[in-house]
Amino acid sequence: MRILIVDDNRDILDLVQRVLLAEGHEVITARNGVEALQREAKHTPDLIVLDINLPFLDGWEVCRQIKARRSVPIIILSVRAEAVDLERSRAAGADDHVLKPFDLDDLVNRITRLTNALPG
């Protein structure tokens, strides 16, 4: 499974990348919203893990733009935990919203659940 991870925090990006590589996934990374859109278009990932607070374009806008083009599972990974933030994630088309700090096993389980639901 090809997964795009988008986060401006290098430590989180590296941690999630290491875990997903160990799980056997191909991983692409991006550190801002513009780079996320470019990498998504170039690599067409099977799933995206996306932070909200990103430079240049926030994660909700990235999510909206990607979902307008194609159907791909997107998991929001963010410190933003207010009800309005969760609603904005749903409105942008996100399939799940995981709060930071997060449990790695929980994130992997959510990724597995969403990828198992993919056709084919």
Architecture of domain 2-112: 3-Layer(aba) Sandwich (3.40)
Average model confidence (pLDDT) for the chain?
A: 95
Mean per-residue pLDDT, 23-50: 98
What amino acid is encoded at 29 in this protein? Answer: T
Instruction: Considering only residues 119 and 49, tell me which one the structure prediction assigns the higher pLDDT.
Output: 49
What amino acid is encoded at 104 in this protein? Answer: L
Mean per-residue pLDDT, 107-117: 93
Distance CA 20, CA 17 (A): 5
pLDDT recorded at residue 120: 67
- CA torsion angle for 76, 10, 33, 29 (degrees, to 10)? -80
- pLDDT grade for 41, boundaries at 50, 70 and 90: very high
Tens digits of residue pLDDT in 18-35: 999 999 999 999 999 999
